[in-house]
Amino acid sequence: MKVLIAGAGRLGTQFAQVLSAARNDVTLIEHDESRCAELAAMPSVHLVAGDACEPAVLECAGAMTCDLVVAATGKDEDNLVIGLLAKRQFGVGRVAARINEAENAWLFGPQWGVDVPVPATTPLISLIEEATGATDTVALLRLSKAGVEVIETAITEDSRAAGHLLGEITLPPGTVVATVVRDGRPTVPSPDERLLPGDELLLVSHEATEQEIHGVFH
């Protein structure tokens, strides 16, 4: 599946990492060049710096041939414009758009090109299921065609992994840490990343169970 995501905040970035780990073709658009630089090392995700409200930017990012567009910026007006352009100008088959302000929810519908309205409080699992049409849920999400599980775990004061470098942790076969979220900001971790209490980890695995992941970190 070819996916185009507008907005590299926490939700958009996690969505991109999960779908790219499941071997989808993912492009992430972000207008903030410094944010793009932060995410430059994100594996298997194409980054495009620009304003997704501009048709030329959407076209350059591949909107004409994508299967799904996710408008995940922090501004409702931008998400509506992106949704409308994706549907009306580029004929995208499925468009999901984030609702930041509840009072604007009534706008997020077919009249603005939105197939899947996503309230800001929607968990990642629900966003992925609704946007992609995935129905096979295991742990956070199992993408049935790819056989991939996405498992989330949190580091606490009592976690055996707290204070250790990520490279010191022996993960189950076929498992990678896709994201470390610290103070609300997702990063692509390196083996030298020291895990701290409060960190949230998003792992992608072809084989491990949720219990096995919990055993490794706790």
Q: How far apart are CA 33 and CA 206, in angstroms?
A: 33
**pLDDT-derived band at 37, boundaries 50, 70, 90:** confident
- The architecture that CATH gives domain 141-217 is 2-Layer Sandwich (3.30)
Mean pLDDT calculated for residue range 162-177: 88
pLDDT number for residue 118: 87
Tens-digit pLDDT profile for residues 180-195: 888 877 777 888 989 9
Place of tokens 């495009």: 48
pLDDT at 145 over 50: no
What DSSP character marks residue 194?
Answer: B
Instruction: Say whether 141-217 and 2-132 share the same fold.
Output: no
Mean pLDDT calculated for residue range 131-140: 47
DSSP string spanning 134-174?
A: ----SSSEEETTTTEEEEEEE--TT-TTTTSBGGGS-PPTT
pLDDT at 77 over 80: yes
Burial of 96 (0-12, 13-18, 19+ CB in 10 A): buried
Structure tokens at 78: 């931008």
Q: Which amino acid is at 169?
A: I
pLDDT number for residue 112: 95
For residue 74, give the 3-state DSSP assignment: coil
> What are the helix (H) ranges across 54-133?
55-61, 76-84, 124-132
pTM of the model: 0.65
pLDDT at 66 over 50: yes
Say which CATH class 2-132 falls into. Answer: alpha beta
Task: Delimit the domains of the chain by residue range.
Answer: 2-132, 141-217
